[in-house]
Structure 1
Amino acid sequence: MSIAIIRQTLKALHKHSRVRSGRTSYRVNQWFKWLSPGLSVKRWLLISVGGVILAALGLAIWVKLTPIFWMIQLLKGLLGFITNLLPNYVSGPLVMVCGLLLLLWGQTRTVGSITKVLRPEGDEEIIDMLLAHRRLYRGPKIVVIGGGTGLSNLLRGLKNYSANITAIVTVADDGGSSGRLRREIGVLPPGDIRNCLAAMADEEKLLTELFQYRFSAGDGLTGHSFGNLFLTAMSEITGDLERAVAASSKVLAIRGQVLPATLSDVSLWANLADGRRIEGESSITEAGGKIVNIGCTPANPPALPAAIKALKEAEYIVIGPGSLYTSVIPNLLVPEIADVIAASLAPRIYVCNIMTQPGETQGYTVSDHIKAIDNVCGKSLFNAVLVQNKHPSARAHMRYAQEDSHPVFCDRLEINKLGRRVVIANIMHEDETGCVRHDPQKIARVLLRWYSSTSKKNVILKTHQAVSRV
């Protein structure tokens, strides 16, 4: 019995020591993070130490060295006593280590106090916040163009790799809550912008729930989402949607920026193969015909200057994903946007949808998506297309077949004839009901990997061209 008790005690002590050791190693690791290059902390620490030394020297000069002299004498006697007990090659390093430990302890307690103020919940160390901030704000300047749930899904993944993201969003929506606000108040539809703001916010889960909350009761409120009402109110206060989005971005602390493609009151129209002309974004999909031509009223709307500036400075341009004719192409109906994308030297890629969409892209292949964009713009806007490589499950096939929707077929030969490179990867997420969406993390990893490889090739090509000229 006593042996069993002793064994349990030893196990408990061993477990406790491992926990303490783990805590100690974690704390030491956190200390050494402060020495990471690029944080601009070491220089200020050295300046602080120098300031302490200078202040002590100034005090000594001020009091004519009288108290400092006795302190030095006392310190000399103490150090002499220690040296007599221990040899200098032991006592010297020992005193130096004690001094460094005291300095490190003081700095750690200082940083801990600051962390408690900045992060009261204590769920993240301030050094981790600084390292993440440094990594994100050194990320590439990415411009993403589109709308709908596809764009917001993409942004959820990309925001973990760069904070220099600009989302250019369509403002042609005329259905649901956005359409009602557009007709009743005269504001530009805020729905797609709302989704992007929620996706790019730090507290994404809570903010998404808040912005997507729809009122189910109340005279005039039923069906409206809180996010749409919030942006509408901000538009009224600030004067236009651009300022409203900028102010909301600061309030919500989003990573990057969201910009409308234009501030014009744009309305879509489409000519169908059966001769019908459909007016309005929501009516185009509901018409259920084959789209042969699409445009907007007024024609050739002016682009938002900030959007053009972002595209000119972009290091990477991503088009899509989203509904081809009602989310992606409406942005490209702004001529300045299409022209700047076509002239850009940055890597440009189109993210193709996983499934066809009834009323828009029934029977479309990947090359059909590309041809539709080329025909509308009259020029080639991107040099690669990202395609899902695995088919959804049988359950998903059955679900989407009921809606006359099927996986988009990748016809590589036709894509190659169009002069586009095909990037094939598994970027799909399928939930338990068989609903298929782009996976935010998978698609972001694939896009950043392709960007890195393309950027390296461009650097090598430019270097080779420079050497050839010499």
Structure 2
Amino acid sequence: MPKSPLKQAIHRLQSEQRKWAAVGQYTPKQVNRWFKWLSPGLLVKRWLLISITGLILTFLGLAVFLKLTPVYRLLECISTLLEFLTTYVPNYISGPLAILLGLFLLLWGQSRTVGSITEALHPEGNQELVDRLLAHRRRNRGPKIVTIGGGTGLSTLLRGLKQYSSNITAIVTVTDDGGSSGRLRREIGVLPPGDIRNCVAALADEEKLLTELFQYRFQAGDGLTGHSFGNLFLTALTDITGDLEQAIAASSKVLAIRGKVLPATLNDVRLWAELSDGRFIEGESNITEARGKIERIGCIPAHPLALPAAMNVIKDADYIIIGPGSLYTSVIPNLLVPDIRNALIKAKVSRIYICNIMTQPGETDGYTVSDHLKAIDHVCEQRLFDAVLIQRRPPSPKALKRYALENCHPVFPDREEVAKLGCRVILGNVMTEDEITGKVSHDPQRLAKVLLRWYSSK
């Protein structure tokens, strides 16, 4: 029995491929790419074929409905079929029927094609491709937001904001000298990567897994014990790329984060503080441990150079958010960089400060909201903020008892004093409370929603 033309063509192609392989030649890349689309299991060919069939039927239905038979005599079979349909089936029935069938096949084929692409790009399949595209476009059109701070407070804020805009830049303090960051700073001479690590993980799409990975601390190993994986990762990238800014950019590409993370400066900065009892303390971790009232705070060198990229994003920002975080060791250190401080003062856009929910022992004992603002304005030598966001409801009695044992209390919202400083008060329920431990913190989603609502009103 003679082979069909299709089988003959396939057999001939296979023979040619064997011939090329024998002499050390290969199929051109473009041809290989074409044949990949014909590979079984892609779930694309069948739906593409259905789409094409639907398109043909749609045009044929239109031709029948408009009595264009035969269609310019292009194909004898098509002409005969159309003539049969128009002779035995009224055109007002056969035409619309063919149109409906064609449109059904077209839409079905296209939906399955998109479904196959979605499954390949997003295997977990918990969101349609069109929804992802719409969310992506919405975030890309979001406002240019600059956030400034450090510690866990800034990373909490970023988790919420990334749902509304991809145009986020986090400017992060680099004065940390405790824990894993402090050890790497002393032993290797790199800038502390801890706060930057938290922000990069917070902006990543796969945030939960990356946070667990970046926060993972080695429990054993000579020299590894106590170090977090994220800190070692950024330290290695810093050595490879040459500086921390390039290391952050490289890690951001690898992790596909939404937005950017920038260090406030690339200078090796150390904090110092003068306490009310006359003590002079050096080092961020030592300042908190000293447990004294801070009268003055500064850094060595006294005038660190700002990162040029940080200056540019502040200049182009639509919205500037500072905090939440430790007042003297996360927020103010960024303002000790003169160029950043001056750029913030000159900014003509909305600037809002997120006040902490609780006081922090060793830094803000007994502080009210206005005390936080006065400390920042003292460093800047003028008013910096247009508004301050304050938690509306106090924590539960259980949480208050827990914090009282640590000499920690809710920051009192002295609204009249805040108004005298020329700052508007924004009240919002932005707190979340752990029912088991009673620990309170800012809720990323609630926080972002209140901040974006205020920005929209402005």
**TM bucket, shorter chain:** 0.7 to 0.9
Once the two structures are superposed, residues 421-440 of structure 1 have per-residue CA deviations (whole angstroms, 9 ceiling, x without a partner) of 00001110110211010011
Deviation at 1:71, TM superposition (A): 4.8
For 2:119, the equivalent position in structure 1 comes to 116
Query: For residue 288 of structure 2, what is the amino acid of its counterpart?
Result: T
**Mapped pair 1:449 → 2:421:** no
Query: For residue 448 of structure 1, what is the amino acid of its counterpart?
Result: L
CA contact (8 A) 1:338 1:381 kept: no
Equivalent of residue 250 in structure 2, options 240, 247, 258: 247
Query: For residue 142 of structure 1, what is the amino acid of its counterpart?
Result: I
Equivalent of residue 165 in structure 1, options 141, 163, 168: 168
Task: Report SS of the residue matched to 2:85.
Answer: helix
CA contact (8 A) 2:173 2:333 kept: yes
For 1:181, the equivalent position in structure 2 comes to 184
For 1:107, the equivalent position in structure 2 comes to 110
Deviation at 1:74, TM superposition (A): 2.7
For 1:417, the equivalent position in structure 2 comes to 420
Equivalent of residue 439 in structure 1, options 419, 432, 443: 443
**Mapped pair 1:266 → 2:276:** no
Query: For residue 308 of structure 1, what is the amino acid of its counterpart?
Result: M
CA distance in 2, matches of 1:244, 1:394: 45
For 1:341, the equivalent position in structure 2 comes to 344
Instruction: State the identity %.
Output: 71
CA distance in 2, matches of 1:444, 1:122: 26
Which structure 2 residues correspond to residues 30-45 of structure 1 after superposition, within 5 A? Answer: none
Compute the TM-score of the two structures, normalised by the length of structure 2: 0.83
Task: Report SS of the residue matched to 1:339.
Answer: helix
CA distance in 2, matches of 1:195, 1:326: 16
For 1:154, the equivalent position in structure 2 comes to 157
CA contact (8 A) 2:293 2:362 kept: yes
Query: For residue 264 of structure 2, what is the amino acid of its counterpart?
Result: A
Query: For residue 309 of structure 1, what is the amino acid of its counterpart?
Result: N
Task: Report SS of the residue matched to 2:209.
Answer: helix
For 1:390, the equivalent position in structure 2 comes to 393
Equivalent of residue 227 in structure 1, options 217, 226, 230: 230
For 2:431, the equivalent position in structure 1 comes to 428
CA distance in 2, matches of 1:139, 1:202: 17
Once the two structures are superposed, residues 296-327 of structure 1 have per-residue CA deviations (whole angstroms, 9 ceiling, x without a partner) of 00011111011111111111100000000000
Query: For residue 94 of structure 1, what is the amino acid of its counterpart?
Result: L
Once the two structures are superposed, residues 227-265 of structure 1 have per-residue CA deviations (whole angstroms, 9 ceiling, x without a partner) of 000100010000000000000011111111110000000
Unpaired segments ≥5 residues, structure 2: 1-50, 60-70
The worse-fitting range, judged by mean Cα deviation, of 104-113 and 340-349 is 104-113
Task: Report SS of the residue matched to 1:386.
Answer: strand
Per the alignment, do residues 422 and 228 of structure 1 end up closer, same or farther by CA in structure 2, a change over 3 Å counting?
Answer: same
Higher helix share: 1
The worse-fitting range, judged by mean Cα deviation, of 179-188 and 74-83 is 74-83
Q: How many residues align?
A: 393
Task: Report SS of the residue matched to 1:374.
Answer: helix
Once the two structures are superposed, residues 172-197 of structure 1 have per-residue CA deviations (whole angstroms, 9 ceiling, x without a partner) of 00001000000000000000001111
Deviation at 1:110, TM superposition (A): 2.6
CA contact (8 A) 2:383 2:421 kept: no
The worse-fitting range, judged by mean Cα deviation, of 332-341 and 92-101 is 92-101
Per the alignment, do residues 129 and 222 of structure 1 end up closer, same or farther by CA in structure 2, a change over 3 Å counting?
Answer: same
CA distance in 2, matches of 1:381, 1:87: 78
CA distance in 2, matches of 1:107, 1:337: 51
Task: Report SS of the residue matched to 1:168.
Answer: strand
Query: For residue 383 of structure 1, what is the amino acid of its counterpart?
Result: D
Per the alignment, do residues 83 and 69 of structure 1 end up closer, same or farther by CA in structure 2, a change over 3 Å counting?
Answer: closer
CA distance in 1, matches of 2:379, 2:408: 24
Quote the RMSD (CA, aligned, Å).
Answer: 1.9
Equivalent of residue 297 in structure 1, options 300, 304, 308: 300
Deviation at 1:89, TM superposition (A): 2.8
Task: Report SS of the residue matched to 1:188.
Answer: coil
Task: Report SS of the residue matched to 2:272.
Answer: strand
CA contact (8 A) 1:169 1:261 kept: yes
Task: Report SS of the residue matched to 1:437.
Answer: strand
**Mapped pair 1:354 → 2:375:** no
Compute the TM-score of the two structures, normalised by the length of structure 1: 0.81
For 2:321, the equivalent position in structure 1 comes to 318
**Mapped pair 1:308 → 2:307:** no
CA distance in 1, matches of 2:116, 2:446: 38
Which structure 2 residues correspond to residues 69-108 of structure 1 after superposition, within 5 A? Answer: 71-108=74-111
Query: For residue 340 of structure 2, what is the amino acid of its counterpart?
Result: I
For 1:27, the equivalent position in structure 2 comes to none
Deviation at 1:84, TM superposition (A): 3.4
CA contact (8 A) 1:429 1:438 kept: yes
CA distance in 2, matches of 1:388, 1:110: 48
CA distance in 2, matches of 1:302, 1:443: 31
Which structure 2 residues correspond to residues 190-209 of structure 1 after superposition, within 5 A? Answer: 190-209=193-212
For 1:61, the equivalent position in structure 2 comes to none
Task: Report SS of the residue matched to 2:217.
Answer: coil
Query: For residue 447 of structure 1, what is the amino acid of its counterpart?
Result: L
Deviation at 1:338, TM superposition (A): 1.2
Q: Which stretches of structure 1, 4 residues or more, deviate above 4 A after TM superposition?
A: 68-71
CA contact (8 A) 2:191 2:266 kept: yes
Unpaired segments ≥5 residues, structure 1: 1-47, 57-67, 455-470
Equivalent of residue 377 in structure 2, options 374, 378, 381: 374
CA contact (8 A) 2:324 2:354 kept: yes
Which structure 2 residues correspond to residues 204-215 of structure 1 after superposition, within 5 A? Answer: 204-215=207-218
CA distance in 2, matches of 1:106, 1:448: 40
Query: For residue 452 of structure 2, what is the amino acid of its counterpart?
Result: L
Deviation at 1:113, TM superposition (A): 2.9
CA distance in 1, matches of 2:119, 2:407: 55
CA distance in 1, matches of 2:379, 2:113: 60
CA distance in 1, matches of 2:335, 2:263: 12
